[in-house]
Amino acid sequence: MGFDLGNLLQQYLGGAGAADPARAEQDFGNVAQQAPRPALAQGVTEALRSDQTPPFSQLVGQLFGRSDPTQRAGMLNQLLANVSPAMLASLAGSVGNLFKQDGQPQVTPEQAEQITPQQAQEIAATAEQLNPGIVDRMGDFYADHPTLVKALGGAALAIVLGKIAQSHQN
């Protein structure tokens, strides 16, 4: 018997699926493989913005701590892509000389390993203050890393699944 994405997602419409976080974790793995990428990105963004989950910066710090060096570098490069030169100079001072001061910052996986989850959380908080659209960019980034998204936990995954269900319904 085949996997029925539509029936599974019906459980998450209106937040009903949030009652069982363990089930949401299991279901997310199946849905992430079959859902359209834009729907997955929207769902992750919704979870990052939700008042039912920790603040955006805290979630980024949590995910950063569970990421491999390449993912960490990708996360940091997303966060730093639209910040001011003054912010880059400030960050470079607080975490060492990791960033190119001329042009676009580019953090390598080796450099990303030198940054702690707490520092990533601080970078995310500052980036969000300067550019609230960074939440959308990070949601899009995480859509390419569904295994990492599972680290958000069942409650956040239920939000992701609910948003995917809404987009699947339309």
Give the integer Cα–Cα distance in Å for 71 and 91: 19
- Structural domain including 71 reads 23-164
Per-residue pLDDT 10s for the chain (170 aa) are: 345 777 778 878 766 555 677 888 888 988 898 889 999 999 999 999 999 999 999 999 999 999 999 999 999 999 988 666 776 666 665 555 555 555 567 888 998 998 999 999 988 998 898 889 999 999 999 999 999 999 998 889 989 998 888 887 76
Residue 71 lies in a domain: yes
As for how many domains the chain has, the answer is 1
Residue 9 lies in a domain: no
Residue 116 lies in a domain: yes
How many CB atoms neighbour CB 107 within 10 A? Answer: 21
Contacts of 76 (CB under 8 A, 6+ apart): 107, 112, 115, 120, 123
Residue in the block written with tokens 């939440």? 135
φ and ψ at 69, to 5 degrees?
Answer: -55, -35
| Nearest residue to 149 (alpha-carbon basis) of 27, 6, 51, 52 | 27
